[in-house]
Amino acid sequence: MTQTAPSSLALRIKQAGLRLTAPRRVILQVLDSADDHPDVEELHRRAQAIEPGISIATVYRTMNALAEHGLIERQRFDDGRTRYEAVPEEHHDHFIDVETGQVVEFRSDEIERLQQDIARAHGFEIVSHRLDIFVRRKR
Amino acid sequence: MTQTAPSSLALRIKQAGLRLTAPRRVILQVLDSADDHPDVEELHRRAQAIEPGISIATVYRTMNALAEHGLIERQRFDDGRTRYEAVPEEHHDHFIDVETGQVVEFRSDEIERLQQDIARAHGFEIVSHRLDIFVRRKR
DNA sequence: GTTACAACTGCGAATTAGTCGCATTAAAGA
DNA sequence: TCTTTAATGCGACTAATTCGCAGTTGTAAC
Ligand SMILES: [Mn+2]
Ligand SMILES: [Mn+2]
Ligand SMILES: [Zn+2]
Ligand SMILES: [Zn+2]
């Protein structure tokens, strides 16, 4: 009998005090192995491919639970759909190609630092932020 | 007979080739005099206060028309609702107080420049961007 | 291993924000 | 003033997400 190693999200969901149910196991596996920014429909599609019968309502509820516990990040680019990704090792921001919809991740320590400086100057402390840069390939 | 000076948006909507109708006159006045980031419900409420009978569908359609012609900016902070503001003289980004919902505008030439640099390094040219910083008052 | 119970699930109905078709009105240019 | 056609109000519709509920199941305690 082969046992799959628990995904990193599977471990973290338990630490968060949430139950690791069969549907969640599948959804977490999908999230763990995703290298893009899938929306709920797409997550559901991928989860169904592994284990049919999982309800889309469960995907929605699982995303909400994971987000509340800080295990995933919600991305709302400009196409309406809410997209998700497992919280990355290191924070990053996004380029969104307006022509192709392709998303490219980047990180600028300088920008991150400047945000801190500006927030401090305003008497704020940063809870989170989002920098989406809509771009077009230069030619 | 008193004549109200045409609002700056009223002038610009004509230049954009759109018709300056009675409902639009009111909606534009609301937008011009807003110093916050109202959503459609709120715009409708304010427009109704000036001139009852304006349909919310018209507010939606007017926002779409104005956005298509670059006269207003759509802001989608994290509370679901889409908010609007007249395109400002000079671009700015936003702090959103997670406790009060209050929005504070700021601008950092440094951050703006860094974005250009990073985009260029990736072979992109920037179409637009959005930097939302969710904060909490420091105490 | 069995038990107990709250958390979770699937389902379909409800809600919410936004769009759309259509008949009617009214800007705006001629 | 006439003509054209964009814009309006209305209510129906859609898409995304939430919710109520009855049944199931993970988990911790026996
Ligand atoms: Mn990402
Ligand atoms: Mn603003
Ligand atoms: Zn960042
Ligand atoms: Zn900016």
Contacts for A124 with CB less than 8 Å, ≥ 6 apart: B95, B97, B104, B133, B135, B136, B137, B138
**Tens of pLDDT along B66-111?**
999 999 999 999 888 999 999 999 999 999 999 999 999 999 999 9
Q: Any atom of strand C under 7 A from CB of B20?
A: yes
pLDDT of residue A37: 97
Number of H helices, E strands in chain A: 5, 5
**B5 pLDDT band (50/70/90 cuts)?**
low
Yes or no: say if B54 and B48 are a contact pair by the CB < 8 Å rule. Answer: yes
Q: What is the DSSP string of A3-50?
A: -PPPPHHHHHHHHTT----HHHHHHHHHHHH--S--BHHHHHHHHHHH
Contacts for A109 with CB less than 8 Å, ≥ 6 apart: none
pLDDT of residue A4: 54
Residue A55 amino acid letter: S
Yes or no: say if A105 and A97 are a contact pair by the CB < 8 Å rule. Answer: no
Residues in chain A, total: 139
pLDDT of residue A40: 97
State which residues of chain A have pLDDT below 70. 1-7
Give dist(CA A82, CA A63) in Å, integer.
Answer: 10
- CA torsion, points B135, B90, B122, A33, in degrees to nearest 10? 30
Which positions on strand D lie below 7 Å from a protein C-beta?
6-12, 15-20, 25-27
Spatial distance from the CA of A18 to the C1' of C7 (Å): 8
pLDDT of residue B1: 46
Spatial distance from the CA of B61 to the C1' of D10 (Å): 14
